[in-house]
Structure 1
């Protein structure tokens, strides 16, 4: 949870007590990193979880604004460089926005 892009998204949305249910305090990313993830709306993994695998993740939020799921792109770290992440991020955010709109519409209808 503390080393994946998706996990970092979830952890950034939690308070400390909830985070500690998922990871030991010494395993958590620094508070400053989690604050930056929460503010920017994305998280990145540069091989922390699996050597040579990079990932970029964005949240999909429900009607209440809570994270319902994440949307991610993965790739070999030597190809998933900063330029690739910069290219993929707006597309991931747009796709997550579309999925969130569908989710909210289905929640409202239910």
Structure 2
């Protein structure tokens, strides 16, 4: 199912939440989210450090943090603040309850990791970016570097992301490509829309995508899309490892066949 051109049906909203009516955003909610994100970026900051980082008043930041602490979303340790594990709880609930693809994909990743010994991943597209929602590591897997569970990244930066992007509807794919900034992570990172469009066309023909040292030096990855019965992409699984092991016939032929087998099993379980 994975190699056919996708339909132009709606596949989950526009990238970045475009199209909101004016006047619907609540500034106090936006401020709380800014504060939560600053806790992640600053790693256990004080109230004053958050206020300085965001340009908000100390009293305003304190009130927001006190409210978030009272509701269980922030932990205060002495004078330092961090997000609570409530966010982990919510994320886990989303995986289990709302992502139908999660459980069958995780089973496939466990099998893939056991067979190959490498890092195996499930990525889901959300608002035009890719989110790594599951990672299973085989016995020979390297410590994940750029990617980790929960990592959000532009789709063109990963094999799984490119497999998803190639199979989105043409309208949504074009919006994502036009908004891409093409920051270079390595000398091999895709650097232009034309190059990306050519590669996506090849991915649709082949049924799988590759990432050849585009996110990390000396790391290769292959990804394949998971499609539903209406030929809409639900996500993608991928395998990554060092170029010393993922090379030659194994890289060019064997792994694409293994990925095709695993995605086919996942798609059958979702029927």
Scaled by the length of structure 1, the TM-score of the pair is 0.81
Residue in structure 2 matched with residue 80 of structure 1 by the alignment: 246
Larger RCO, structure (CA 8 Å, separation 6 or more): 1
In 2, Cα distance between equivalents of 1:43 and 1:91: 13
In 2, Cα distance between equivalents of 1:18 and 1:52: 27
1:39-50 aligned at under 5 Å gives the runs 39-50=205-216
Instruction: Say yes or no: does 1:68 pair with 2:226.
Output: no
Kept in 2, the 8 Å contact 1:2–1:27? The answer is no
Match of 2:177 among 19, 23, 42: 19
Return the offset for 1:84.
1.7
In 2, Cα distance between equivalents of 1:40 and 1:76: 23
1:31-46 aligned at under 5 Å gives the runs 31-46=197-212
CA offset digits 1:18-62 (Å, max 9, x no partner) = 4334x2375544322110001111000111011111101111111
- Which is greater in Rg? 2
What is the root-mean-square deviation in Å for CA atoms of aligned residues? 1.8
In 1, Cα distance between equivalents of 2:204 and 2:231: 13
Residue in structure 1 matched with residue 161 of structure 2 by the alignment: 7
In 1, Cα distance between equivalents of 2:198 and 2:255: 24
In 2, Cα distance between equivalents of 1:69 and 1:30: 19
Structure 1, 70-79 or 11-20: larger mean CA deviation:
11-20
Match of 2:263 among 86, 90, 96: 96
In 2, Cα distance between equivalents of 1:64 and 1:30: 25
Residue in structure 1 matched with residue 218 of structure 2 by the alignment: 52
In 1, Cα distance between equivalents of 2:218 and 2:235: 25
Q: Give the unaligned 5+ runs of structure 2.
A: 1-154, 183-190
Q: 1:2 to 1:49 in 2, by over 3 A?
A: same
Return the offset for 1:2.
1.3
CA offset digits 1:71-93 (Å, max 9, x no partner) = 11111012111322211111110
Residues matched between the structures, number: 103
